[in-house]
Amino acid sequence: MRKEIKTNAMRILDKNNIDYEINTYECDNFIDGKSIADMLGQDYDITFKTLVVIGKSKQYYVFVIPIAEELDMKQAASTAGEKNIEMVHVKDINKVTGYIRGGCTAIGMKKQYPVFLHKSAKKYDKIIISGGRLGTQIFVNPDDLLKVTGGKYADVILH
């Protein structure tokens, strides 16, 4: 049995004594979150994606929202205290976060950016987020996710 190689996100959770579970699956290329949830039989409501945006001020922000939802750019900008924001280009994800598309998680980025977790996460004991690389998921309590990222709950999806 080979030893699971820990991601930066897992090491940070361990260091902070935060309980989590990991799930791995075969994945060589980026697949969208809904397709992965379908493949693994996971509920869209508890499966979250990590989106990285840049504000007019050139500050980066991280939004963690349910995979089937869309970020409300106006609401997200307002929440971040920005006039407007835009998504970070896919080619820049690794440079900004240290992670690759599909393996990006709010925990353990190159720098700690402000993190906003959609308020629907409060309803669940555990949510599913990326584990820090393709084919790896972390099941974690949403309050623990906010504790380790210094984040806060926000209502930032299109209604």
CA distance 23 to 129: 10
The predicted pLDDT at position 32 comes to: 86
Pair of tokens at residue 145: 């996710």
Strands 115-118 and 152-154: parallel
Paired residues of 24 in beta bridges: 136
Sheet containing strand 48-55, edge to edge, reads: 85-87, 48-55, 60-66, 115-118, 152-154
Tokens 């669940």, residue? 124
Predicted local confidence at residue 28, as pLDDT: 74
Per-residue pLDDT of 73-86, as tens digits, reads 999 999 999 999 99
Report the range of poorest mean pLDDT among 16-30, 80-94, 100-114: 16-30
pTM of the model: 0.94
Kindly tell me if the per-residue pLDDT of 51 is higher than 80: yes
CB 63 within 8 A of CB 76: yes
Do residues 22 and 10 lie in contact, with contact meaning Cβ atoms separated by under 8 Å? yes
103, two tokens: 């393996």
Residue 65 has pLDDT above 70, yes or no: yes
What are the pLDDT digits (tens) for 97-145? Answer: 999 888 999 999 999 999 999 999 999 999 999 999 999 999 999 999 9
Confidence label for 4 from pLDDT (cuts 50, 70 and 90):
low
Return d(Cα 12, Cα 7) in angstroms, integer. Answer: 9
Helix (H, G, I), strand (E, B) or coil at 96: helix
Of 2.40.110.10, 3.40.30.10, 3.90.960.10, 3.40.50.970, the CATH number of 16-154 is: 3.90.960.10
One-letter amino acid at 153 equals: Y
